[in-house]
Amino acid sequence: MAIPAIRGIAWVPYLGAVSAVTGSPVLSPPRPISTARRDTPAQLRRWVVVSVLTAAVLLLAACLVMARVQQQARIIGDQAAPQAANAADLYFALSDLDAQVARLVLTSGRDELAGSRVDALGTYRERGRQVDESLQRSLTTVTGDGERAIVLELLHGLGSYRERVWQALTAGPSAAGYYTQATNVLHLDLLPAATRLREASEKRLDDAYGSQRATEIAGVTIAVLLGGALLILLIGLQVFLARRFRRLLNPALITATALTVLLLVPMAAVLILQGQVLSRARDESLIPFLDLTRARAISYDASADTSRYLISNRLDLYRQDFDRKAGGLEAGDSGLPAVAGGRDVGPDSTEQVVRRWQAYRAGHERIVKLADAGRKAEAITALTGIRRGDASFDFAYFDAAVAGITASRRDDFEVAVRDARVLLTGWPFVPAVVLGLVILLVPLSVRRRFAEYR
């Protein structure tokens, strides 16, 4: 059979089935190229572009989140927590400062109490230095204008307080009047201002923890959503290549998928674990430390009320103040039994703290009875003496137990903060390295497939 020729076109017939009538072969039109095969490069390109873009977005987000959470851990450990501790120490030091002034006034002019006077003077100077250092640290670390105004108010009030203390210590018979003025400055001006500074620092600490928690949640969400999307894309690309090109395994894609999994699982684990470490450190160490420091300050102020009761010639206000503060310290839910207890401090230590405080309170009651009976000299000796059985000795014995637990709480918090920092070491850069390799491996995995269409 002749085939017509068309100028410029070479027609090559396709011999198909044989005619049942003539027995001659039947000509069929040329077979078209598969549409799926023509679209394969475009589909492959879309897979690669979407996978690389997803990996790039995940890289940027993961690096930013890990850098942010590392910075927030540093803010908690280096700024917020030390500022809260510094404010608590300031309140404590001010309380003890006035207690030592009361001891100095009581022992003035009594040679038999010279040892107690020397001890009170040394402690007064130490607390004064501690107050000055705390205020200096506050000036260099506070950021808000309101807090700076509080610190300046404390500095001004401290100057006025020290002026009245000097007058009380040099006034002789008129010492009681000047001391009353000094302690009024402390309780009406200094301690309320120190309380506001402490509350502001604790709010900043809570805000820092809140920001850290929010970043932790954001990081885990990014790992789940963006990381999950990238894994789906990588696995989908592997399936696409297996179906279209009959390549069951692609080493580059398998490596990229494995790297993504090896990044996402540890990243989420580190975010969750460091958050747990910091939260546990706050709940089990830092907050108990702050509570114990506050309890110590109250106990010192209560002990000073015993001295004030004697200085004021049995003004009942001070006895009532002592009973109120002592009752707060002995309360089961918020007092010494609660703040002194903990997993690292056994019940024996807690009971020891409570027993020593109760021993001091019994001494206080004995001193009040001596004063009420007109035996003021004996009351002063029982209060300021530094021998076993004297109130000063009993109080120092109690405070040593509280101070030991307080220091342990602070040390535990610092260890936990260091542990959290170790967990986060290097993590701002790990996602960049791992996902950078993934971004390189995805185009490499399809390079030979594209070559088949050239």
Asked if 254 and 375 count as a contact pair (C-beta separation under 8 A), the reply is no
Q: Which two tokens stand for residue 36?
A: 């799926």
Query: Distance from first CA to last CA of the chain, Å, rounded?
Result: 38
The closest alpha carbon to 276, from 101, 439, 419, 148, belongs to 419
Asked if 241 and 449 count as a contact pair (C-beta separation under 8 A), the reply is yes
> Measured between alpha carbons, how far is residue 114 from residues 61, 100, 106, 307, 386 in Å?
68, 14, 11, 17, 11
Q: Which two tokens stand for residue 43?
A: 């589909």
At a CB cut-off of 8 Å and minimum separation 6, what does 357 contact? 299, 326, 329, 330, 336, 398
Q: What mean pLDDT comes out for the span 131-145?
A: 89
Q: Express as a percent the part of the chain with pLDDT over 70.
A: 87
Answer whether residue 7 shows pLDDT above 50.
no
pLDDT at 352: 85
pLDDT at 110: 85
pLDDT at 248: 67
Answer whether residue 30 shows pLDDT above 60.
no
**Residue-wise pLDDT tens digits, 212-255:** 999 999 999 999 999 999 999 999 998 888 887 766 678 899 99
Residue 196 CB-half CA count within 13 A: 15
At a CB cut-off of 8 Å and minimum separation 6, what does 303 contact? 99, 360, 364, 391, 395
- For CA atoms 332, 337, 343, 346, the dihedral sign is negative
Question: Residue 28 pairs with which residues in a beta bridge?
Answer: 14
pLDDT at 23: 53
Q: What mean pLDDT comes out for the span 329-343?
A: 76
The confidence band for 15, taking pLDDT boundaries of 50, 70 and 90, is very low
Q: Which two tokens stand for residue 427?
A: 């993590």
Q: What mean pLDDT comes out for the span 298-313?
A: 94
Please name the residue that has the structure tokens 């995995």. 445
Asked if 256 and 443 count as a contact pair (C-beta separation under 8 A), the reply is no
The closest alpha carbon to 310, from 124, 169, 103, 120, belongs to 103
How far is 384 from 71, CA to CA, in rounded Å?
Answer: 50
Q: What are 315-324's contacts with CB under 8 Å, separation 24+? A: 319/368, 322/364
Q: What mean pLDDT comes out for the span 81-96?
A: 95
pLDDT at 157: 95
Answer whether residue 108 shows pLDDT above 80.
yes
Residue type, 11: W
Buried b / exposed e along 245-271 (16+ C-beta atoms within 10 A): eeeeebebbeebbebbeebbeebbebb
The confidence band for 173, taking pLDDT boundaries of 50, 70 and 90, is confident
Answer whether residue 453 shows pLDDT above 70.
no
Q: What mean pLDDT comes out for the span 280-307?
A: 93
How far is 308 from 330, CA to CA, in rounded Å?
Answer: 21
At a CB cut-off of 8 Å and minimum separation 6, what does 381 contact? 112, 113, 390
Q: Which helix (H) or strand (E) holds 14?
A: strand 14-18
Rg (the chain; Cα; Å): 39
pTM, full prediction: 0.84
